[in-house]
């Protein structure tokens, strides 16, 4: 409904995502947000609307894809991002409506009685450098198959992503192809087969691709085969600008988050370095050119995944030190939140609601003393679905017309 009410004006909306922000008590009953010394954030929290968002649903732990789609205003249950697409985005590859993406794992196979048997599904987790050499070899020898362009990119250890770019848009469900990974050593890789006409057409190209891979890797001692998992297609999503009348850009360092932003149609901006300071410079340099800015900070999540709560605390404190520079840009609506919680106690993503701070002239404020999980619970935004965050940002920037007479 919100799409039919959007109006344009000159306001600036800034969405800052501290990846995996929410936490659980780790030291003396305190969460990382409660342990961090963050005078600027706490001061801002007093003058802001606070609340918690639920990324997907009660009890549901989101991956990075659904976590971000939700806060971008796209229902993460309706729009599902397949594994292959996410892998490709994570390696900085472009994905288009004409593409099928899949994850490829280098494997070791042996031939026995004319059969191929998987000896090691991960090729002994070859070093990333070795992966790069082999991937380069494949890329140089496979440019195109039957008019389908093939892009392949090395990931960490034995992992790669492959994008098959067809010369024409593909119907939905063209990615319905089984994984080739037999999941067990000593078994034969499965033949990729399509579940319908269009996916079988894709599978035919994939089989030709695997034939070539086999030939090219025949002389490799370890990584002499490739198993494919998670065939996927870019989900059809209406463009962010079309929906919300916001010219949007992403200021993110990590490829996956740049990729997720580009999926919904945001411009992904080059960042000259990898520090928060570099990101702020980029933000400043394009401030006049966009309406909506997505700033992504990764390390809160990384330290959470490592179970390193002091590391996470330090990233929050570093962000706090940079906050005054961000406030100098004078966004009309500023949201600081996460895409999901990553409590270091759990060493991974979790289902817990995520703290939200929304700053604008049109809030009650004065509901809390600081920006923490517990204080956000007392805020005026309540606990709400992440997908509604964009409504709140639009409303507070006076970009939504009245509904009904």
Q: State the residues that interact with a copy of itself by CB under 8 A.
A: 1-2, 5, 24-25, 29, 31, 52, 56-66, 76-77, 80-83, 86-87, 230, 343, 345-346, 348-353, 361-367, 373-374, 377-380, 382-384, 388, 391-396, 400-405
Question: Beta strand 115-120 with 99-112: parallel, antiparallel or unpaired?
Answer: antiparallel
Least Å from the CB of residue 208 to a copy of itself: 27
Least Å from the CB of residue 345 to a copy of itself: 7
Q: In terms of Cα–Cα distance, which of 261, 249, 238, 251 is closest to 295?
A: 251
Least Å from the CB of residue 237 to a copy of itself: 14
**Contact status, residue 356 vs residue 17, Cβ threshold 8 Å:** no
Least Å from the CB of residue 401 to a copy of itself: 8
- Helix (H) or strand (E) holding 154, with range, is strand 148-154
Question: Beta strand 99-112 with 13-18: parallel, antiparallel or unpaired?
Answer: unpaired
Handedness of CA 130, 135, 138, 140 (dihedral sign): negative
Least Å from the CB of residue 48 to a copy of itself: 13
Least Å from the CB of residue 75 to a copy of itself: 12
CB of 63 or CB of 124, closer to a copy of itself: 63
Q: Which alpha helices (H) appear in 193-295, and where do they start and end?
A: 197-216, 240-244, 255-263, 276-286
Cα separation, 142 vs 149, whole angstroms: 9
CB of 189 or CB of 379, closer to a copy of itself: 379
Neighbours of 244 (CB within 10 A): 26
CB of 251 or CB of 355, closer to a copy of itself: 355
CB of 87 or CB of 120, closer to a copy of itself: 87
CB of 118 or CB of 368, closer to a copy of itself: 368
Question: Beta strand 248-251 with 225-233: parallel, antiparallel or unpaired?
Answer: unpaired
Cα separation, 72 vs 294, whole angstroms: 9
The residues near 50 (Cβ < 8 Å, ≥ 6 apart) are: 355, 356, 357, 358, 367, 368, 371, 375, 376, 378, 379, 380, 381
**Contact status, residue 373 vs residue 56, Cβ threshold 8 Å:** no
- DSSP 8-state secondary structure symbol assigned to residue 194: B
Least Å from the CB of residue 259 to a copy of itself: 12
Q: In terms of Cα–Cα distance, which of 90, 32, 27 is closest to 253?
A: 90
Q: What Cα–Cα distance (Å) separates residue 280 from each residue in 232, 307, 367? A: 34, 28, 29
Neighbours of 281 (CB within 10 A): 15
Least Å from the CB of residue 247 to a copy of itself: 20
CA 27 to chain CA mean position, Å:
30
CB of 2 or CB of 208, closer to a copy of itself: 2
CB of 130 or CB of 339, closer to a copy of itself: 339
Least Å from the CB of residue 287 to a copy of itself: 24
């Amino acid at each position: 409904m919100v799409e039919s009410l959007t109006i344009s004006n000159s306001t600036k909306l800034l969405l800052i995502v501290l990846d995996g922000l929410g936490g659980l008590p780790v030291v003396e009953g305190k969460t990382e947000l409660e342990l961090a010394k963050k005078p600027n954030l706490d001061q801002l929290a007093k003058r802001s609307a606070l609340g918690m968002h639920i990324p997907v649903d009660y009890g549901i732990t989101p991956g990075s894809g659904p976590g971000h789609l939700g806060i971008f205003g796209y229902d993460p249950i309706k729009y599902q991002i397949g594994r292959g697409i996410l892998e490709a985005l994570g390696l900085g590859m472009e994905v288009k409506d004409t593409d099928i993406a899949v994850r490829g794992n280098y494997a070791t196979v042996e031939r026995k009685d004319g059969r191929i048997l998987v000896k090691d599904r991960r090729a002994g987790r070859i070093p990333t450098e070795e992966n790069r050499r082999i991937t380069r070899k494949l890329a140089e020898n496979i440019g195109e198959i039957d008019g389908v362009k093939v892009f392949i990119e090395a990931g960490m250890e034995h992992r790669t992503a492959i994008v098959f770019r067809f010369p024409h848009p593909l119907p939905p469900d063209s990615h319905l192809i089984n994984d080739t990974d037999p999941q067990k050593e000593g078994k034969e890789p499965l033949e990729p087969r399509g579940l319908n006409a269009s996916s079988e057409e894709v599978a035919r190209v994939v089989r030709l691709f695997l034939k070539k891979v086999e030939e090219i890797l025949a002389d490799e001692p370890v990584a002499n085969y490739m198993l494919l998992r998670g065939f996927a297609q870019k989900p059809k999503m209406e463009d962010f600008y079309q929906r919300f009348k916001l010219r949007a850009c992403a200021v993110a360092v990590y490829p996956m988050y740049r990729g997720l932003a580009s999926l919904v149609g945001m411009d992904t901006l080059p960042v000259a370095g990898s520090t928060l300071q570099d990101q702020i410079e980029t933000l400043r340099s394009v401030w006049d050119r966009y309406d909506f800015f997505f700033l992504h900070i990764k390390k809160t999540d990384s330290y959470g995944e490592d179970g390193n709560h002091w590391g996470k605390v330090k990233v929050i404190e570093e962000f706090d030190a940079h906050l005054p520079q961000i406030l100098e840009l004078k966004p009309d609506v500023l949201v600081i939140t996460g895409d999901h919680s990553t409590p270091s106690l759990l060493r991974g993503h979790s289902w817990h609601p995520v703290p939200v701070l929304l700053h604008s002239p049109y809030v009650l404020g004065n509901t809390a003393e600081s920006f923490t999980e517990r204080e956000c619970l007392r805020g005026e935004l309540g606990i709400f679905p992440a997908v509604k965050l964009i409504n709140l940002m639009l409303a507070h920037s006076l970009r939504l017309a009245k509904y009904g007479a």
